[in-house]
Amino acid sequence: MWESQSAMDSLTSAVRSNIIPNQEYLLQGSILDVYVEVLLHRLRGLCDNVDSGPESFNDHELCFTLRGSNTSPQMAIPLRVRRALDVQDAPWQLRYVGQHELGGRNRPTLVRSSLDVACSNTIVEFLTELGCRIDFEYIARGYMFRKGRMKITVSKIFKMVANKPGESVEPISQSYLVELSVLAPSGQNAIAEDMRIFAEQLKPLVELEKIDYKRLIHVP
């Protein structure tokens, strides 16, 4: 008789055969507002989705952490929730982003463990009641491109003046954030090399680099 395999069993075997995309390869940079048109133009030339034009997005992101009353910061679990403000029916995105590894000089990109889970719109209440605390939230508006497996986003970050998204927002800087990322199963380091080559093509408009957040935090 055929036995129904439990969801946990099939997930475990997926983990074992290493097909779950749980590593994010990331490069970041920024560009001033006045030059962003030139960059978009450049990206349209380089990327795959040229004929339909760049895909725009308008997302609201909330960043939570799950931590107890006396847990060390290393144990705390960062969780992010993202939802599209322009596509109301789209599922919400829950994301776990782990500690990033900078790697040595010869590793071209930042690598961090990451889990992307689409979920229903009850997620914010779910996380709040789960014991997560909200750290900050923002609005990201911009464009998304893709080139093979690579994802390129050019987005402007806004902070929310009122506590409701979409009402009044205020840009936090005069520049756009540029991110080049790939979500892949662990051990696929060849993709990092592709990313380095792609980033090379965007110079000198934007320098995509491995950004070390720890260094940013400890600046006095």
Partner 1 sequence: MGVTILQQFPIENRTGPATIELLTKRISALGAVQQGHFLVDCETYSSVANLGPPRTVHVLHNSEQPASCFSILDTGTKTIPLAADGLFDLLMLKMNYFYQAKKQTKAESKGPRFEIGDFCVKLGTVTVSQNFKGILVEVEYRPCVVPGMCWELIREFMQGVLGSSVQSNPPPYLATRMQENYTPIDTIHQYLEHFTMFRKSPGMRT
Partner 2 sequence: MTDLEQLQTALHSLKVLRSNVGIAFESVSNGLRADHGEDGKENKFILELQELLSTVNNNLRDVEGAVSNLSIPPGPFALGNTIYLSQEVTQERQSLYVQLVNSYKWTDKIRDYSALAGNILASNSVNKTYKTFSTTKRRKTQTSTHNVPPEVIENLITGIDRLFPDVTITASRPFVPNPVIQASLSRVLKAVIAFKGLMIEWVVVKAHSESNDLWTESRYKVFKKVTENCHAAMCHFHSPTMPELAVKSFMHWFHSYNTLFSNPCKRCGNYLYSNLPPTWRDLRTLEPYHEECK
Of 69 and 163, CB closest to partner 1: 69
Partner in contact with 11, chosen from partner 1, partner 2, none, beta carbon below 5 to 8 Å by kind: partner 1
Q: Does 104 bind partner 2 (CB under 8 A)?
A: no
Using only C-alpha atoms, what is the Rg of the chain? 19
CB 205 to partner 2: min, Å: 11
Among partner 2, partner 1, none, residue 38 binds (CB under 5-8 Å by kind) = partner 2
Percent helix, strand, coil in the chain, to 5, is 25, 40, 35
In this structure, the number of other CB atoms found within 10 A of the CB of residue 24 comes to 22
In the complex with partner 2, the residue whose CB is nearer, 106 or 120, is: 120
Residues 30-89 that bind partner 2 (CB under 8 A): 37-38, 41, 44-45, 50-51
Report the interface residues with partner 1, using CB under 8 A.
Answer: 2-8, 11, 15, 20, 22, 66, 68-71, 75, 77, 94, 96, 115-120, 122-123, 125-126, 129-131
Q: How many residues bind partner 2 (CB under 8 A)?
A: 7
* Contacted entry of partner 1, partner 2, none for residue 71, CB cut-off 5 to 8 Å set by kind: partner 1
Identify which of residues 45 and 187 has a Cβ nearer to partner 2 in the complex. 45
**Which partner in partner 2, partner 1, none is near 89 (CB below 5 to 8 A by kind)?**
none
Q: How many CA atoms lie within 13 A of 203 on its CB side?
A: 9
- HEC states along 23-81? EEEEEEEEEEHHHHHHHHHHHHHHCCCCCCCCEEEEEEEEEEEECCCCCCCCCCEEEEE
Question: In this structure, are residues 22 and 113 in contact, taking their beta carbons and an 8 Å threshold?
Answer: yes
47 vs 94, beta carbon nearer partner 2 = 47
Query: Closest CB to partner 1 among 67 and 147?
Result: 67
Terminus-to-terminus CA distance in the chain, angstroms?
Answer: 67
**Closest distance of CB 136 from partner 2, Å:** 35
Q: How far is CA 68 from CA 75, 132, 201, in A?
A: 9, 9, 45
Q: Please report, to the nearest 10 degrees, the dihedral formed by the alpha carbons of residues 112, 118, 121, 126 taken in order.
A: -60
Contacts of 104 by beta carbon, 8 Å cutoff, 6+ apart: none
Nearer to partner 2, 52 or 74 (CB): 52
| Binding stretches for partner 2 (CB under 8 A) | 37-38, 41, 44-45, 50-51
